[in-house]
Amino acid sequence: MQRFLISLAAACAVAATIATPSHAGKQQLSVFQDDRLLVLSGDSTRERTLDDLQELGVDTIHSVAFWHKIAPAPTSRRRPSGFDGSDPAAYPAEFWDKYDGLVRGASVRGMDLILSPSAPIPSWASGCPTTRLALRRTCRPNLTQFKRFVAALGTRYSGEYADENQGRGTLPRVTRWSVWNEPNQGGWLTPQYARVKGRVVSVSPVIYRGLVRSALKALQQTGHGSDDILLGETAPLGRRTGSLSTRPTPPTEFLRDLLCLDARGRKLTGSRAQTMDCRGFTRIGVSGVSHHPYTRGGSQPPTAKGLPTEITMSSASRLKAILTAAGRQQRLRSGLPIWYTEYGFQTNPPDELFGVSLEEQARFINQSDFLAYQDRAVRSVAQYELRDEANLASFQTGLRFNDGRPKPAFAAYRLPIWVARSTGGRLRVWGQVRPAADDALEDVEVQNDPDGSGDFSTVETVQTTDAKGFIDVRVPSRGGTWRLRWTPKDGGPTVTSRVARVGG
């Protein structure tokens, strides 16, 4: 989450306007992350935000479990005497409240939660000699202490642990986990690189491999071995300049080194294998790989592929090639799904440096969803932030402005639409009724305005056929603009999509 580094055809139709679902996206999840509102801003803000996300149709929350926010004495270099980090009761009870509230709030609304234990770390868990607190918060996390922290999370959110502080009975179970946040970025894990015997070598993949193995052991020991457990959470970009310790590692290089693979997908050998600590490598038992497929600056369209070492949504083939090689070389299980867990586009207003227009943000979000839907490997799409941050130097990727006013992207996210040219002179109209209940059969009007007058008429009414409310139809080609219109069968106001043109 470092802003300045961000920079299939369906089955044959029985008739032209019958819904034709793509099996790529049937179960694709809608992941949303906004830790500022959901974790760090108090109970009332969290509950209002969860209500907003429920209205939008979000089914999965992604949250970073900031280690230093839960640990005792986080600024001390000395671990508290007698502290057992694997025991949830050993932590100050009130430090759990922000996450307990999120777990309960998501559960009561029928939302799943992906929890990512990550930096910043307590100072006493750093293996670096520096006395500077800011540096110790990311530097060489102690693997034993991290394993204990993850064990505490696993025990507390096992579905059997009683909340000792707020007296609300047994806490819900968390069944999805992802290890760390952007481990290829110096803002989250250091050192990224180091100079060894006069050579610059990559360090962070080795550190991260240890963190993943430690987390896996902890989750298995606390009854979460059959849960969804992801590795990665990688940022999409890298850099060749800057401090070795904090210089971001390109994701392709990071993942290959993590998995002890060379650039051709073979096992590392020789001195390189020794440097990457590959001796005795055993398969890492995760169930998926998570990634943040931002384009550079959060301001390029989702079709931008980035540099050859980078991974955006349109260059996901680079990630899939690494995963294919990892399966072939027994580094990972073959066929692991890709989870997009953080993503978004900066807008102008308010960001005059990187931001795209409000209309472009709405369009890019829908285009991204359409691209992901067509990719069999992709398990989830993601949106980072509900509301813009007050600091203009930070993220402005929200669906709302900082003052709460909705951007056009709010409606676009709730009811996505994309119109593309199809075969035989037809158009493909794709969309999703995000707020619809799973497996609900909802009627959606596909509407056209041929001359830009704003007078839309219904071309066809189609029914959602996928578990997550997708429609995918072929209609006769017409000029003008298109939109979707949905009236919930169980009541509620009619919802319309943004107005879309072919290819936009």
Q: Give the tens place of pLDDT for each residue, 116-126.
A: 999 999 999 99
Classify residue 392 by burial, with Cβ atoms within 10 Å: 0-12, 13-18, 19+: middle
* Segment 490-503 mean pLDDT: 95
Residue 268 DSSP class: P
Q: What is the pLDDT of residue 71?
A: 99
Cα(69)–Cα(120) distance, integer angstroms? 8
Q: How confident is the model at residue 90 (pLDDT cuts 50, 70, 90)?
A: very high
Residue 427's alpha-carbon distances to 17, 385, 421, in angstroms, are 10, 32, 5
What pTM does this model have?
Answer: 0.94
Q: What is the pLDDT of residue 4?
A: 37
Q: Look up the CATH number of domain 3-7+25-414.
A: 3.20.20.80
| Per-residue pLDDT reduced to its tens digit, 383-425 | 999 999 999 989 999 999 999 999 999 999 999 999 999 999 9
Cα(195)–Cα(342) distance, integer angstroms? 32
Angle between helices 97-108 and 43-56 (to 10 degrees): 30
Asked if pLDDT for residue 94 goes beyond 80, the answer is: yes
Q: What is the pLDDT of residue 382?
A: 99
Nearest to 101 by CA among 57, 150, 59, 44: 44
Angle between helices 316-328 and 251-258 (to 10 degrees): 10
Asked if pLDDT for residue 491 goes beyond 90, the answer is: no
| Per-residue pLDDT reduced to its tens digit, 150-183 | 999 999 999 999 998 876 799 999 999 999 999 9
Q: What is the dihedral of CA 188, 241, 252, 245, to 10 degrees?
A: -30
